[in-house]
C-alpha cells in the first residue's frame, strides 16, 4: 500500500519545480502537521514560566531587576513576549499554511466524492475484514431489494445505495458516513477563521486602563488613560467619543462568617454620554457585567481608596485640593500612594506614604497595619519632600512615582524624617509652615476600556468548528456490499462491509445486518448465519 | 440546618467517601496480587493451547471449580461496588458543600479537588457499565485518592465567592473542564495499560497479572474513544466557556495568562494525539505516549498553575 509519505521519500537530484512540489507535499503531510502541533505546544511553555509584557508589564520589570544578567538575553530572544515573538509566530503560521495546503485538496476530493456513486464490490469479498455467505431460495432480484430496504438508513441521513442487476446475479452497493469528512473539513477551516478573528481583533483592537475617582469623570481620549495598548492598525481618533461621570463606587466586604474580609460586592454607577452633547443616561458596572458603548466595553477590574488631601504651601495659599488614588497592595487594601504638589511656593512639595482602611497599631508603635478592607478606621501616613518634582523635564511621569532625584526629605526638630499621620478631618503642619489636611475619603474605580473588533468571528467559528469536530468523531464512514448469484442449490449471497476508520464493532454490526436481512427475506435467522465466518479482526 | 452544620455534614461525607474509596483501591490491589500469584495462565494469543478446543478463558484455568468466579474476579467486583458506594458518599459531600456555601460548589482548590474526583469516579462507573472497564479500577481509585488527599490539604471553610467568580459562565467552564478531565483520566489510564500490555504481548511475557486486562487493541480503542469524547468537551469548556467568562470579567477573552496557556497546551497536545492516531507510524505506541503527555499537561493546567502560577487565576485578587 504505497502512501503519500513513501512516494515523497528522499528526493533524488530533482529540478527546482519537482523539489518545490516535494517540499510542499512534505509540508502538507499529516506527519508535518503533527510535528508542528507538538512544537507549538512546547513553544507555548516558556510564556507561562517567565512573566509576559502583554499579561503583566510590571511583573516583567520586577523580574528584570531580580535577575539582571539573564534578562537581557531573555529579552533579546523574545521570552518576555513569547506569543508575539518571531519564532512562536513562525510555528503557528507554518501550521496554518500546512493546514490550508491540506484542506484545499481534501475539499476538492470531497466535493468530487459527493457526486460519486458507491464503488463496485471487490472481486474477492471474503478477504474483507467482515464478510459472510449464505444460500436462500429467493431470486437475486428479491435479495437485492431486501438488502436495499435494510441498508437504506434513516430518512434524515440516507445512505447512498446503488443496485446493479443482470439476469441471474445482482449487486447492492451502499456507502454511508459522508458527514465525517465534511465535519473534519469544517473543523479545520474553523481554526483558520479563529486565527484570522484573533489576529484581526489584536490588530484593530485596543485595551486601556484608567483610574476614576468617585465624583469625577472620564472622557475616552488617549490622554486620560494610565495604561494603553493597541494593535498596529489601531487609529487613536477611532476612539468612540463617549464620556462618563462616576457618581458612586461601592466596595463591600464580608464582615462576619468564614470569609471575613473577602470581597462581597464591587459596583460603579453614574451617567454616560455616548458622544459630546448627548443626553446622559445612567449606567451601572459590576464585576462580570461591563458597560457597552458602541463597540467598546467598560469593565470594572479594580477599586480602592482615594483620600481627598488639601495642601497649603508655606505662604498660606491652597495649592492642592483633590482626591489622590492610593493603590491597594493586598486583600486588606493596605495602599501606597504619592501626592505631587507642583504649584507650591517657594519650593515644590511631594508626599509619599500609605493608606490603611482599618488601621490597627502594631506592636512597635509606628508600624500599624490594616486588618480589614472596609474603611472602619482610615489612617493616612506620609513622608514629606521639597524641591523640584522633575515634572517638566519632558519625560512622561507616572502619577504613582515620586521622582526624588532633586527632592530633599523634610526632617523634624531632632533630625528624624518628619512623619505625618492623619485620620479624616485632621490636619498636620510641616516644619516649613506648609499644612496638609485629610479632608475627605472617597473610593476610586479602576476601569478597563477594551474593544476587540471581530470578537464574534472567533466565537462563531470555533462553535461551528466544534459541531464539525463532533461530527467527524461520531460519524463512521462504511461501505457495504451484497452480491447474489443464482446457483444450482439456490441463490448464493455474499455480504461484506469495510470501515474506512477502524472500528472494533464491525463483526457485531455484520451479525445484526445478517439477522435483518433474514427477516426481510422471510427466512429464519439461522439460515443467514450458518456459513458466516468472521475474518480475524486484529 | 445552618451553613456550619451543612459544611460539617459535607466534610464527614467526603472523609468517609475517601475511606471507602481507599478500601476499593485495596480490593483492586488484592485482585492484582492474587492474579499475579497464578503461574502462566492460558492467553488468547498464547502459543501453547491447553487441550484442543478448550475455550481460551481469560481467567486462569488453575481455579478448582470453573463455574464459581475466581478470587481476582470476586475482588474486582468488590472493588467496583465499593467504588460505587464511595462515589455516592462523595457526591453527597460535594452537593451538601454547595448548599453550605449557598452556591455552586466549585469556587476554590478544595472544591475543585472533590468535584474533580467526583466527576472522574462517576464517568468511570458509567463506563464500567457501558464498556466494562473495571480493569481500570485500581488506577482510577488510586488517582482519586491522591486528588482527595490534595483537596484535603487545601481545605477552606465553605463561604461565598469573590465577585469575579459570580458568573454562570464560570459554572459552565468548570463543569465542562471537570467532565473533560474525567474522560482524559480514563483515556490516560487505558493508554498507560496499553503501553505496558502491548510491550508484554510483543515479548510474549503476558503473565497472570496482565491477563487481568483485555487485549492491548481493546485498551487502545477505549483510550481513543474517551479522549475523542474529551477533546470537544475540553475545546468548549477550557477554550470557549473560559474565554467568554474572561471576556466579561477582565475585558479580554484571551490574554495568555498562565492558566490559559496551559489550557491551550493541553488542547494542542490532544489535537496531536488525535492526529497521531491517523498518521502512519504514529498509531499505537507513540499515540499512547502523546495521550499520557497530554494528561500531564491537563493536570498541570488544573493544579500546577494555581499553586505557583501568578496569573489572574491564582484567586489572590
Ligand atoms: C491547528 C492545527 C490543527 C488542529 C488543531 C487539528 C486538529 C485535528 C483534530 C482534533 C482531528 C481529529 C478529528 C477527526 O478525527 O476528524 C484532526 C484530524 C485530521 N487532521 Fe487536523 N488539525 C490541525 C492541522 C492539520 C493539518 C495542518 C493537517 C494537514 C496535514 C490536518 C489534517 C488532518 C486530517 C487528514 C485529519 C483526519 C484524520 C482521520 O482521518 O481521523 N490537520 N485534526
The residue of chain A nearest to residue B233, with distances taken between CA atoms, is: A466
The pLDDT assigned to A302 comes to 86
Q: Is pLDDT of A213 > 50?
A: yes
B152/chain A closest Cα distance in angstroms: 17
The pLDDT assigned to A1 comes to 37
From the CA of A30, how far away is ligand 1's center (Å)? 8
Give Cα separations from A382 to A352, A428, B60 (angstroms): 5, 11, 82
**Pick the residue with more confidence: A238 or A282?**
A282
Alpha-carbon torsion, ordered B252, B255, B257, B260, to 10 deg: 90
Partners of B276 on chain A (C-beta within 8 Å) are: 34
Residue B22 lies in a domain: no
Average pLDDT, chain A: 85
Which residue has its alpha carbon closest to ligand 1 atom 4? B271
Residue B198 lies in a domain: yes
What pTM did the predictor assign?
0.83
The pLDDT assigned to B233 comes to 96
What is the per-residue pLDDT across A327-347, written as a single tens digit (0 to 9) for each? 888 888 889 999 998 888 888
Q: Is pLDDT of B306 > 70?
A: no
The residue of chain A nearest to residue B170, with distances taken between CA atoms, is: A288
Q: Is pLDDT of A402 > 50?
A: yes
Residue B86 CA, chain-centre distance (Å), reads 15
The three three-digit cell numbers of residue B314, written as one number: 491564582
In the numeric block, the cell 490636619 is attached to A427
Least confident of A31-40, A379-388, B49-58: B49-58
Overall domain count for chain B? 1
pLDDT interval class at B49 (50, 70, 90): very low
A426's CB contacts (< 8 A; 6+ apart) are A437, A438
End-to-end CA distance of chain A: 18
Mean pLDDT to the nearest integer, A34-50: 92
**Pick the residue with more confidence: B184 or A84?**
B184
- Helix (H), strand (E) at residue A164: strand A160-166
CA quadruple A468, A471, A473, A478: dihedral sign: negative
What ranges do the domains of chain A cover?
15-113, 122-177+476-537, 206-451
Partners of A504 on chain B (C-beta within 8 Å) are: 217-218, 221
Partners of B265 on chain A (C-beta within 8 Å) are: 41, 44-45
Whether residue A185 contacts residue A214, with contact meaning beta carbons closer than 8 Å, is answered with no
From the CA of A324, how far away is ligand 1's center (Å)? 55
Mean pLDDT to the nearest integer, B224-228: 94
What is the per-residue pLDDT across A109-168, written as a single tens digit (0 to 9) for each? 998 888 888 888 888 888 888 888 888 888 888 888 888 888 888 887 788 888 888 878
What is the per-residue pLDDT across A411-455, written as a single tens digit (0 to 9) for each? 888 888 888 889 999 999 988 888 999 999 999 999 988 888 878
Q: Is pLDDT of B281 > 50?
A: yes
**Pick the residue with more confidence: B314 or B174?**
B174
Cβ separation of A473 and B228 shorter than 8 Å? Answer: yes
Cβ separation of B160 and A254 shorter than 8 Å? Answer: yes
Q: What's B312's DSSP letter?
A: G
From the CA of B275, how far away is ligand 1's center (Å)? 6
**Pick the residue with more confidence: B115 or B67?**
B115
Residue B186 lies in a domain: yes
B4's CB contacts (< 8 A; 6+ apart) are B100
Q: How far apart are CA B246 and CA B257, in angstroms?
A: 10
Helix (H, G, I), strand (E, B) or coil at B199: helix
Residue A29 CA, chain-centre distance (Å), reads 28
Residue B36 lies in a domain: no
A27's CB contacts (< 8 A; 6+ apart) are A94, A97, A98, A101
Q: Which atom of ligand 1 approaches the CA of B270 most closely?
A: 10
Expressed as residue numbers, the domain containing B292 is 162-317
Alpha-carbon torsion, ordered A397, A399, A400, A405, to 10 deg: 40
In the numeric block, the cell 477533546 is attached to B231
B155/chain A closest Cα distance in angstroms: 12
The pLDDT assigned to A287 comes to 82
Residue B14 lies in a domain: no
Which residue has its alpha carbon closest to ligand 1 atom 10? B271
A390's CB contacts (< 8 A; 6+ apart) are A397, A403, A405, A406
Q: How far apart are CA A275 and CA A241, in angstroms?
A: 5
User: What is the full DSSP assignment across A252-281?
Assistant: EE--SSTTTTSEEEEEEEEEEESSTTSPPE
Mean pLDDT to the nearest integer, A44-50: 89
The pLDDT assigned to A536 comes to 39
Residue B283 lies in a domain: yes
Smallest CA-to-CA distance from B85 within B169, B130, B21, B179 is with B21
A122-177+476-537 architecture in CATH? Answer: 2-Layer Sandwich (3.30)
Q: Which atom of ligand 1 approaches the CA of B231 most closely?
A: 10
ipTM value: 0.86
What is the per-residue pLDDT across A67-108, written as a single tens digit (0 to 9) for each? 889 889 998 998 998 888 899 999 999 999 999 999 999 999
B82/chain A closest Cα distance in angstroms: 31
**Pick the residue with more confidence: A462 or A6?**
A462
Partners of B262 on chain A (C-beta within 8 Å) are: 48
Smallest CA-to-CA distance from B119 within B12, B233, B220 is with B233
Average pLDDT, chain B: 84
B265/chain A closest Cα distance in angstroms: 5
Question: Between B255, B272, B311, which is nearest A54 by CB?
Answer: B255
Residues with CB under 6 Å of ligand 1 are A 28-30, 33, 37, 95, 98-99, 102, 184, 188, 191, 469, 472-473; B 231, 271, 274-275, 278
The pLDDT assigned to B149 comes to 93
Q: Which atom of ligand 1 approaches the CA of A40 most closely?
A: 1
Residue B124 lies in a domain: no
Which residue has its alpha carbon closest to ligand 1 atom 9? B271
Question: Where would I find the H helices in chain B?
Answer: 3-37, 71-101, 109-131, 137-153, 168-203, 216-234, 242-250, 258-276, 285-299, 305-308
Cβ separation of A469 and B297 shorter than 8 Å? Answer: no
Q: How far apart are CA A313 and CA A386, in angstroms?
A: 11
Residue B263 lies in a domain: yes
Cβ separation of B231 and A448 shorter than 8 Å? Answer: no
What is the per-residue pLDDT across B107-125, written as a single tens digit (0 to 9) for each? 888 999 999 999 999 999 9
Which residue has its alpha carbon closest to ligand 1 atom 19? B275
Question: Between A34, A301, A470, which is nearest B272 by CB?
Answer: A34
pLDDT interval class at A391 (50, 70, 90): confident
Amino acid at each position: 500500500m504505497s502512501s503519500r509519505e513513501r512516494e515523497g521519500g528522499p528526493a533524488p537530484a530533482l529540478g527546482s519545480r519537482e523539489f518545490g512540489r516535494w517540499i510542499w507535499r512534505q509540508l502538507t503531510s499529516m506527519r508535518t502537521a503533527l510535528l508542528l502541533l507538538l512544537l507549538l505546544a512546547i513553544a507555548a511553555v516558556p510564556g507561562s514560566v517567565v512573566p509576559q509584557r502583554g499579561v503583566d508589564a510590571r511583573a516583567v520589570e520586577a523580574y528584570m531587576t531580580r535577575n539582571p544578567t539573564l534578562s537581557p538575553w531573555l529579552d533579546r530572544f523574545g521570552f518576555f513576549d513569547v506569543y508575539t515573538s518571531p519564532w512562536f509566530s513562525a510555528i503557528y503560521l507554518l501550521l496554518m499554511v500546512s493546514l490550508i495546503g491540506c484542506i484545499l485538496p481534501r475539499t476538492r476530493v470531497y466535493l468530487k466524492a459527493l457526486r460519486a456513486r458507491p464503488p463496485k464490490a471487490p472481486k474477492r469479498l471474503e478477504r474483507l475484514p467482515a464478510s459472510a455467505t449464505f444460500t436462500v431460495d429467493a431470486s437475486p432480484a428479491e435479495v437485492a431489494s431486501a438488502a436495499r430496504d435494510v441498508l437504506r438508513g434513516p430518512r434524515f441521513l440516507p445512505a447512498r445505495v446503488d443496485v446493479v442487476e443482470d439476469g441471474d446475479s445482482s449487486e447492492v452497493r451502499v456507502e454511508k458516513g459522508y458527514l465525517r469528512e465534511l465535519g473534519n473539513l469544517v473543523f479545520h477551516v474553523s481554526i483558520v477563521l479563529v486565527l484570522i478573528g484573533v489576529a484581526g481583533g489584536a490588530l484593530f483592537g485596543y485595551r486601556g486602563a484608567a483610574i476614576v475617582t468617585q465624583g469625577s469623570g472620564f472622557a475616552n481620549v488617549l490622554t486620560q488613560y494610565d495604561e494603553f495598548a493597541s494593535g498596529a492598525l489601531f487609529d487613536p481618533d477611532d476612539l468612540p467619543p463617549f464620556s462618563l461621570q462616576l457618581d458612586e463606587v461601592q466596595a463591600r466586604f464580608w464582615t462576619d462568617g468564614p470569609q471575613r474580609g473577602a470581597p462581597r460586592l464591587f459596583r460603579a454607577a453614574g451617567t454616560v454620554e455616548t458622544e459630546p452633547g448627548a443626553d446622559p443616561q445612567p449606567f451601572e458596572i459590576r464585576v462580570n457585567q461591563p458597560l457597552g458603548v458602541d463597540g467598546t466595553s467598560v469593565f470594572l477590574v479594580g477599586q480602592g481608596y482615594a483620600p481627598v488631601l488639601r495642601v497649603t504651601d508655606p505662604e498660606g495659599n491652597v495649592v492642592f485640593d483633590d482626591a489622590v488614588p492610593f493603590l491597594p497592595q493586598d486583600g486588606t487594601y493596605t495602599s501606597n500612594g504619592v501626592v505631587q504638589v507642583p504649584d507650591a511656593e517657594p519650593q515644590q512639595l511631594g508626599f509619599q506614604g500609605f493608606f490603611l482602611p482599618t488601621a490597627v497599631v502594631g506592636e512597635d508603635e509606628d508600624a500599624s497595619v490594616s486588618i480589614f478592607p472596609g474603611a472602619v478606621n482610615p489612617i493616612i501616613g506620609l513622608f514629606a519632600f521639597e524641591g523640584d518634582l522633575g515634572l517638566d523635564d519632558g519625560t512622561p511621569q507616572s502619577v504613582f512615582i515620586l521622582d526624588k532625584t532633586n527632592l530633599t526629605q523634610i526632617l523634624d526638630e531632632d533630625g528624624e524624617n518628619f512623619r505625618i499621620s492623619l485620620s479624616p478631618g485632621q490636619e498636620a503642619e510641616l516644619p516649613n509652615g506648609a499644612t496638609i489636611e485629610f479632608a475627605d475619603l472617597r473610593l476610586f474605580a479602576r476601569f478597563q476600556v477594551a474593544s476587540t473588533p471581530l470578537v464574534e468571528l472567533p466565537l462563531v467559528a470555533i462553535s461551528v468548528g466544534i459541531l464539525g469536530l463532533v461530527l467527524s468523531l461520531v460519524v463512521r464512514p462504511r461501505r457495504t456490499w451484497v452480491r447474489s448469484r443464482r446457483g444450482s442449490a439456490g441463490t448464493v449471497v455474499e455480504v461484506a462491509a469495510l470501515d474506512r476508520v477502524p472500528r472494533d464493532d464491525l463483526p457485531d454490526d455484520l451479525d445484526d445486518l445478517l439477522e435483518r436481512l433474514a427477516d426481510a427475506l422471510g427466512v429464519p435467522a439461522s439460515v443467514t448465519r450458518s456459513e458466516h465466518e468472521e475474518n480475524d479482526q486484529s | 440546618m445552618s451553613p456550619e452544620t451543612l459544611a460539617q455534614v459535607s466534610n464527614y461525607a467526603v472523609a468517609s467517601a475517601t475511606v471507602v474509596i481507599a478500601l476499593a483501591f485495596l480490593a483492586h490491589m488484592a485482585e492484582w496480587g492474587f492474579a499475579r500469584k497464578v503461574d502462566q495462565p492460558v492467553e488468547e494469543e498464547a502459543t501453547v493451547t491447553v487441550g484442543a478446543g478448550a475455550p481460551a478463558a481469560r481467567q486462569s484455568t488453575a481455579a478448582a471449580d470453573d463455574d464459581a468466579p475466581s478470587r481476582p474476579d470476586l475482588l474486582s467486583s468488590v472493588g467496583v461496588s465499593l467504588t460505587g458506594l464511595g462515589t455516592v458518599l462523595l457526591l453527597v459531600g460535594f452537593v451538601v458543600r454547595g448548599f453550605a456555601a449557598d452556591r455552586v460548589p466549585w469556587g476554590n482548590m478544595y472544591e475543585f479537588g472533590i468535584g474533580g474526583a467526583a466527576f472522574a469516579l462517576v464517568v468511570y462507573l458509567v463506563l464500567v457499565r457501558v464498556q466494562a472497564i473495571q480493569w481500570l479500577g485500581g488506577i482510577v481509585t488510586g488517582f482519586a485518592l491522591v486528588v482527595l488527599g490534595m483537596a484535603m490539604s487545601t481545605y477552606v471553610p465553605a463561604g461565598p465567592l469573590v465577585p469575579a467568580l459570580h458568573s454562570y459562565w464560570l459554572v459552565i467552564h468548570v463543569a465542562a473542564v471537570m467532565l473533560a478531565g474525567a474522560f482524559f483520566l480514563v483515556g490516560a489510564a487505558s493508554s498507560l495499560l496499553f503501553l505496558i500490555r502491548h510491550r508484554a504481548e510483543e515479548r510474549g511475557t503476558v503473565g497472570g497479572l496482565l491477563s487481568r486486562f483485555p487485549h492491548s487493541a481493546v485498551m487502545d480503542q477505549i483510550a481513543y474513544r474517551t479522549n475523542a469524547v474529551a477533546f470537544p468537551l475540553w475545546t468548549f469548556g477550557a477554550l470557549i466557556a473560559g474565554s467568554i467568562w474572561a471576556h466579561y470579567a477582565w475585558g479580554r477573552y484571551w490574554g495568555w495568562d498562565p492558566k490559559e496557556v496551559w489550557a491551550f497546551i493541553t488542547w494542542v497536545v490532544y489535537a496531536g494525539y488525535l492526529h497521531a492516531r491517523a498518521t502512519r507510524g504514529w498509531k499505537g505506541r507513540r499515540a499512547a505516549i502523546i495521550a499520557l503527555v497530554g494528561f500531564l499537561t491537563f493536570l498541570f493546567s488544573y493544579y500546577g498553575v494555581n499553586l505557583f502560577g501568578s496569573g489572574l487565576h491564582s484567586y489572590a485578587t
